[in-house]
Amino acid sequence: MNKINVYAYHGSFSTIREAAFAEANIDWLDSGNPLCDICTESFAAYKLYDYLKKAELDYVSLIDNLSDAEANDLTFVIAGKNSSREIFSYLGLKDLPNPLSSKDGYIIRELPGLEKRILLYGNSRIAVLYAMYHYLKTQGFAFISPDEYGFVIPKLEKLTPLNDTVVEEPDYKTRGFLSGYSDDTNEQFLEWMIANRLDNMSLHEVKNVPFVKKLGIKISGGGHKAMYEYLPADQPDPNYIPAPGEPPKTYFETHPEWFALRNGKREAGVNKDAAAKGYYTGNNFCMSNKDAVKEFCKNFLNSIIGGSLKDADFINVWPLDNGKWCECEECAKLGNYTRQILLVAYELMKAIKDAQKKGHLKRDILLIVPAYHETLPGPDKPLPEDFDYDMITVNLFTIERCYVHDLFDERCTEANTILADRIREWTMKEDRYYKGDLVIGEYFNVSSFASIPVVLADRIAKDMPDYYKWGARHFNFMHMISDSWGAKIINNNLYAALLWDIDLDVEAFIDQMLNVFYEQKAADVKSILKKVEKALENCKYIFHYQFVDGVINALKRNITKDKPFVSKHVQFDKILDDPNAGIDFESGYAMLKEAYAESVMLYEGEKEGAVKERLWQLKTHLEYGTDLYTIYRLILLYSQAHNKGENESCKKIAKEMKDLNEQCTAIHWALKGYKSERMFFDSLAAASWQIQLYERIIEQEALTGAKAELTL
């Protein structure tokens, strides 16, 4: 009987299996360490072997020596740049032509002159894994959602032959996400990332660094917190040596000139109350003060070398969130806020390069500066001639956008055209001063969405190729969650696929995914998701915020006012005759309820099995979304009744609101993927980000038990 073999070069390790699980004993901070490649490639071999066994194929073996493969066996050879030389030498082959230009590119092909020898080659460690998962997908495997029923493993009698050579390279250079609320404890979530060819992530917490590194995933660090953490005004200055008996002095006490000049007075930095809740805002330090920048960069570098950022590859050099800036004359001379933060990143870049030259740092670092709120405009003066655009890039965040329109849709004059102009300014303007790549930061699950079932298939399908067209080459979004996707399988999988191939046939991709996942119910699910997409197209104004004629506005800012709907995008129960207009609030609510009711019927009519479990997840997700929308609606209706003095109506609405808040159970599943305390919501009202208003209403109507006794 012919066998199926899987082989990878395992170096000094005794077996492939040993090498595959040796990550805890490998120095991942040295990018030149050959053991890194050996471990990852061996893991790719082990996973291929393991999945073929799970598919119930006979005679599958993990072989530690190529000489163990007989001529008639089908043998998979897993190889990367370095190991391929060893393998080809053993086989008596010359190096194969390598048409790949991207480090993330891979090739699947038969080895020349060696029938039944299939090469899975990657240009980097992570690309070897990409090749392995690509091959599995050709055999009917699917990796759609990070949960018990999220991966589809076929039962195979034999493998489908490889007819053509596969050569794959990504369109976007880096492909990842930011998540302030999830961690890496769900390994299936990390596997989904690799199977769908993502390469970087920023999480609330990374607990298993060796495993993440083994997968080749780049870890992001830094962020808004860095501006405080590496130059904390209220912490002791380690450079100050107090006299005997003298207490230590803070940075602000020793160097008030390092901190922001506001209204003619130097002020300390971060807002402590906000920081205690994980939100870093306040005053940025004085970026024109060379000594302040030097100290900031020194502390930042120490963290990158051996501190909390020692495992990070992408470093976010961000100012404080919605922070205030120094008003001194020297800062004004530097240029606009964008140029100021770019120059700080430039100084950090020089410090990092010096550390790399001296051997203190043995890995590549990418510094990322935000184009966000006050730094949306490009720099207004030239950058230094030795500004390294391969090491510093800019992440433009589209947080003020709407999702009624495509980002580059000229009809969206209230919001998106402003952001589209900014993107073109960064990438296409002839006299621009920034000449590097652009990262786009999207908001498919922004914080206050709290994982409601927003479906953005049409927006993602149109925007991601357009972003690429207008010069973007890197991409991330906030906030990916590590579990409980439900309707989000559309956004997350389509996003990953388009990052790799902007020319993807989107409809065919979605249909194939739904057919594999929901089988005979795929068409019904697609119809439901289309309704959800339309129902929640005004999600940004209703649940978060967006530009309204260039100024940030939102329902939550106006919900207690007589006129809560100030945007042309959305009115309460009518659609304006205006190109900005999308679905109205009431119609969206009715359509979401309709979609939820259909999902219940679909679930109840399905026989027991994996498809029924997936339908339960979809149903539960839509139930949660409907309940959250209902809470918003009841708060709105209460406010309107209160403004009109309709006391009986107020009492009735408040009672309905309280009952819903205490009876909602879908929240348990919907927020299971959130691991940060900031998202440990104990009730539906809390998840709506309207908890204070909710509690005031309950108190005003003298209803006891304001807070639901729910725990996640």
H/E/C letters for each residue in 318-356? CCCCCCECCCCHHHHHHCCHHHHHHHHHHHHHHHHHHHH
Residue carrying the six token digits 């450079």? 239
| pLDDT value of position 335 | 98
Which tokens belong to 279?
């939100």
Q: How far apart are CA 47 and CA 253, in angstroms?
A: 57
* Structural Rg of the chain based on CA atoms: 27
Q: Kindly report the number of other CB atoms within 10 A of residue 656's CB atom.
A: 14
Check residue 679 and give its pLDDT: 66
Our measurement of the distance from residue 552's CA atom to the centroid of its chain's CA atoms, rounded to an integer in Å, reads: 23
pLDDT tens, residue by residue, 337-364: 999 999 999 999 999 999 999 999 999 9
Task: Convert the pLDDT of each residue in 422-447 to its tens digit.
Answer: 999 999 999 999 999 999 999 999 99
Would the pLDDT of 712 be above 60? no
Token digits of residue 621: 């997700």
Residues 147-173 pLDDT 10s: 999 999 999 999 999 889 999 999 999
Q: Yes or no: say if 123 and 136 are a contact pair by the CB < 8 Å rule.
A: no
* pLDDT at 139 exceeding the cut of 70: yes
Three-class secondary structure assignment of 57-81: CCCEEECCCHHHCCCCCEEEEEECH
Question: Residues 368-426: pLDDT tens digits?
Answer: 999 999 999 999 999 999 999 999 999 999 999 999 999 999 999 999 999 999 999 99
711 pLDDT band, cuts 50/70/90, is: very low
What average pLDDT does this structure show over 133-144?
98
108 and 162 in contact (C-beta within 8 Å)?
yes
Least confident of 524-538, 592-606, 645-659, 662-676: 662-676
Backbone angles phi, psi at 116, to 5 degrees: 70, 25
Instruction: State pTM to two decimals.
Output: 0.94
Residues 6 or more apart whose Cβ sits within 8 Å of residue 658: 698, 703, 705, 706
**Cα separation of 17 and 57, whole Å?**
20
For tokens 């809560």, the residue is 564
Q: Output the average pLDDT for the chain.
A: 94
Helices 585-604 and 610-643 cross at an angle (nearest 10°) of 150
Angstrom distance (rounded) from CA 517 to CA 216? 28
Q: Report d(CA 603, CA 615) in Å as an integer.
A: 5
pLDDT bracket for residue 579 (50, 70, 90): very high
Rounded Cα distance between 402 and 416, Å, is 7
**Are the C-beta atoms of residues 377 and 338 closer than 8 Å to each other?**
yes
Other CB atoms within 10 Å distance of the CB of residue 686? 22
CB under 8 Å to 503, separation ≥6 — which residues?
465
* Rounded-to-integer distance, Cα 291 and Cα 296, Å: 8
Q: 242 Cβ partners below 8 Å, 6+ apart? A: 248, 249
9 neighbors 37 (Cβ within 8 angstroms) = no
Distance CA 669, CA 549 (A): 38
Q: What is the pLDDT of residues 313-331, one digit of tens each?
A: 999 999 999 899 999 999 9
pLDDT, one tens digit per residue, over 681-693 is: 888 999 999 999 9
Query: How many CA atoms are closer than 13 Å to the CA of 683, on its beta-carbon side?
Result: 21
The answer to whether the beta carbons of residues 228 and 204 sit under 8 Å apart is no
pLDDT at residue 92 in the model: 80
Dump pLDDT digits (tens) for 496-518: 999 999 999 999 999 999 999 99
Dihedral in degrees, nearest 10, Cα atoms 326, 330, 335, 336: 10
Reading the block at residue 545, the tokens are 């915020």
* pLDDT at position 710: 26
Hey, how many other C-beta atoms are within 10 angstroms of the C-beta on 591?
18
* Token output for 692: 């204070």
C-alpha–C-alpha distance, residues 26 and 701, integer Å: 62
Q: For the residues 698-703, what does the mean pLDDT come to?
A: 90
Q: Provide the sign of the torsion angle of the four alpha carbons 328, 329, 334, 337, taken in this order.
A: positive
**Within the chain, what is the greatest distance between any pair of CA atoms?**
89
CA–CA gap between residue 219 and residue 126 (Å, rounded): 13
Cβ partners under 8 Å of residue 112, min gap 6: 93, 96
Question: Using omega within 30 degrees of 0 as the cis cutoff, is the peptide bond preceding 373 cis?
Answer: no
Q: What is the mean pLDDT of residues 9-30?
A: 97
| Choice among 4-18, 62-76, 484-498 with the minimum mean pLDDT | 62-76
Say what the pLDDT of residue 169 is: 98
The yes-or-no verdict on residue 709 having pLDDT over 60 is: no
What's the Cα-to-Cα distance from 632 to each of 369, 488, 544, rounded to whole Å?
A: 35, 21, 12
**Type of residue found at 300:** F
Residues in the chain: 712
